[in-house]
Copies of this chain bind each other. A is one copy, B any other.
Amino acid sequence: MAKVGVLLSGCGVFDGSEINETVISLLALDRAGAEVVFMAPNMKQAVVNYFTGELVDGVSRNVLDESARIARGQVSDIAGIKAADLDALFIPGGFGAAKNLCDFAFKGPDCEVHPEVARLIQEIVAANKPLAAVCIAPALVAKVLGHDRSDLQVTIGTDPETAEAVASMGATHVSCPVDEIVIDKKNQIITSPAYMLASSISEAAVGIEKTVGALMEMVAA
């Protein structure tokens, strides 16, 4: 049974992992026979008001605690996870990937990445294990790997500003519609736009299910 790490960043599109993307991924992974290993960084996060989109002043939550809501309690601190524990890594989107796992949402290409997140992504790729990322999470992958792997190819969909930021971090950005995926065969990295472009949950599901399918093919290869 393939062990696929799912790297969460909280619970909810505006300050954590996008919930629909995550659950669609989990269902596809389970149906493909994968065993999921949930992980998240043990760190504070800012909290968004989901009606206004504004930050809630003076309130913080813990990313690991909030991620446990999606994981039904079964989530590990990423600091304790090694590439050797996994056959592949999957990173759902949501602003948590760009606010908590790194701060791309605030600093763009000059962002910093949570050190344990950077470590695990580097370890996975160095171990020749496949990695998939959807929505805005490919920007995180570009930041971690772009300058060491000039042949890296990822997509965040079609948004010109975000694509330019991804390119400036050293990756090649490939435009991609919501129902398609970009496969970087050499680096074994699969990306898809999901809610960067999706206007409905079933639209998001098409690309995510293809992403999981391609990931599981690489695991089996």
Q: Which residues of A contact B (CB under 8 A)?
A: 11-14, 16, 19-20, 23-24, 26-27, 30-31, 49-51, 53, 65, 68-73, 75, 200-202, 205
Contact = CB atoms under 8 A, between A and B. Distances in A.
Contacts of A19: 11, 19, 23, 69-70, 72
Given A12-B69, A19-B70, A50-B65, 9 more contacts: A11-B12, A16-B69, A19-B23, A23-B24, A27-B201, A30-B200, A30-B202, A49-B65, A50-B69
A202 B73 contact: no
Nearest to A20: B23
A13 B49 contact: no
22 contacts: A11-B11, A11-B12, A11-B19, A11-B69, A12-B70, A13-B72, A14-B73, A19-B19, A19-B69, A19-B72, A20-B23, A20-B26, A23-B24, A24-B27, A27-B201, A27-B202, A31-B202, A50-B69, A50-B72, A50-B73, A50-B75, A53-B73
Contact of A205 (B11, B27, B53, B65): B27
Copies of this chain, whole number: 2
A201 B26 CA distance: 7
Contacts of A12: 11, 69-70
Contacts of A16: 69
A174 to B, nearest CB: 26
Contact of A68 (B50, B72, B202): B50
Contacts of A26: 20, 201
Nearest to A72: B13
A111 B73 CA distance: 27
B23 A51 contact: no
A68 B72 CA distance: 19
A30 B201 contact: yes
Contacts of A50: 65, 68-69, 71-73, 75
Contacts of A23: 19-20, 23-24, 201
Nearest to A26: B201
Nearest to A19: B70
